[in-house]
Structure 1
Amino acid sequence: MNNFTIFSSFFQGKALLFLERIIDLALEEDGQDLTSNAVFSQESNAQAVILAKESCIIAGLPISELILARLPGSTEVSFLATEGIRAEPGQRIISIEGSTRKILKAERIILNLLSRLSGIATHTDLYCQKLKGTGVRLLDTRKTSPGLRYPEKYAVLLGGGENHRLNLENMLMLKDNHIDQCGSITKAVKALRQTYSPCPDIEVECRTPQDVEEAVKTKVQRIMLDNMSMKQLEKSLSLIPSNIESEISGCITLDNIEKIASLKPDFVSSGALTHSAKHIDMSMKIEV
């Protein structure tokens, strides 16, 4: 499956609708381009190129076409780089030819999304490089920018990571507040199984080895070990049988992920993939 196929496979149904709504809101937010409308006629055409100004994993190329498609006027887009592949500083990644007004109206929105998504893909790739050969799978979280959940999680995929649940409907996951309010892991799991028949897979967040022992007895499908010390992690993993998946989360960084992976959990999840990724510097230039 090539990376443009990944885009079309990911952005369908609800994900595509959300992306189109994001684009429409961004265009509305930017308002009318009073400057370009005054300086250039409707008949004015231009050729522009978008450049990556630093090394990065490119993510979001097809979104540029979706943005331009929402605007009046004619443009033709050519991709000069490959989605999901590293671009080098100064590399041309997109060429756009057509209506000057349309190109300039779309400029900042295209650059903002490309910069954000490429930043996430690049950041995720750094984590994946640390996990090479370990067999441990890297997951993202729901710590995404409001409204940008789908494109940001798509960028994680291009960086080599995997998606945890996309939203609250995707899986049953008992976190600390559910458990504390319910009274115990056992009570919370029982409530889920009484509500849903057949009951979907359940993941339980555990904060201590004692939590893990209780969760194992409920026969859930996955146990997340959250914000534990290395000693607690080792103890907790020894308590989880092979038929229950294990996930380590909380304070995962580039500095400690190799040490965490050496414990051999099934998954490591990190909010840093999205909330700590820097934007990639990109620019658009009109060629004259």
Structure 2
Amino acid sequence: MTNFAVLPPRLVLDPLLRDWLLEDLGRGDRTTSGLLAPDATSATARWIAKAPGLIAGLPVAARVFQLLNQKISFVALTTEGARCEPGQLVAKIEGSLDALLSGERLALNLVMRLSGIATLTNLYVQTIADFPAQLVDTRKTTLRDNF
């Protein structure tokens, strides 16, 4: 079986991410905007796994940052569906500090949620591996009907 991520088209994904960013940031990240001018300072963020499991959602997280600033560099240091261990470097994000700070909460929440789902699903698959059963989804989600 091949591991690969199937993302919804940007036409579907981008409005969801924009809505979530608007919900999270409201009228703006007041702390960040109070301390930093837009694009004034560059920084590097490193995401490190805190728990064992399967990683999922890195392309979605990258898109969160790209919506905030197209110059952000998001480098996934593991592949979708790969097992990660505590302390493992998962991603490196470089660019405007204000964009990194504004997008990190949504991006991290999405990756943690999607990785949790992938990890638990993998546990179910392993549990039924020796039985004449197949795990299938219902196409119902906790996000929105079309994602």
**TM-score, normalising length: structure 2:** 0.87
1:65 aligns with 2:59: no
Residue 73 to residue 11, structure 1, CA distance change in 2 (3 Å): closer
1:11 aligns with 2:3: no
Whether contact under 8 Å (1:49, 1:92) holds in the other structure is: yes
Structure 1 segment 21-32 matched on structure 2, within 5 A: 21-30=15-24, 31=26, 32=28
- Percent of pairs with identical residues: 39
Pick from 33, 36, 39 the counterpart of residue 37 of structure 1.
33
Whether contact under 8 Å (1:51, 1:92) holds in the other structure is: yes
**TM-score, normalising length: structure 1:** 0.47
Residue identity in the other structure for 2:11 = L
**Distance of 2:145 and 2:84 partners within structure 1:** 23
Unaligned runs of 5+ residues in structure 1 are 151-288
Residue 40 to residue 79, structure 1, CA distance change in 2 (3 Å): same
Give how far 1:12 is off: 4.4
Q: How many residues align?
A: 144
Bigger relative contact order (CA 8 A; separation at least 6): 2
Residue 74 to residue 118, structure 1, CA distance change in 2 (3 Å): same
Q: After the TM superposition, which parts of structure 1 deviate over 4 Å for at least 4 consecutive aligned residues?
A: none
Residue identity in the other structure for 2:75 = S
User: Equivalent residue of 1:49, what SS?
Assistant: strand
Give how far 1:93 is off: 0.5
Whether contact under 8 Å (1:52, 1:89) holds in the other structure is: yes
1:97 aligns with 2:91: no
Whether contact under 8 Å (1:73, 1:99) holds in the other structure is: no
Report the RMSD for the aligned CA atoms in angstroms: 2.0
Whether contact under 8 Å (1:47, 1:95) holds in the other structure is: yes
Residue 112 to residue 122, structure 1, CA distance change in 2 (3 Å): same
Whether contact under 8 Å (1:79, 1:93) holds in the other structure is: yes
Residue identity in the other structure for 2:138 = T
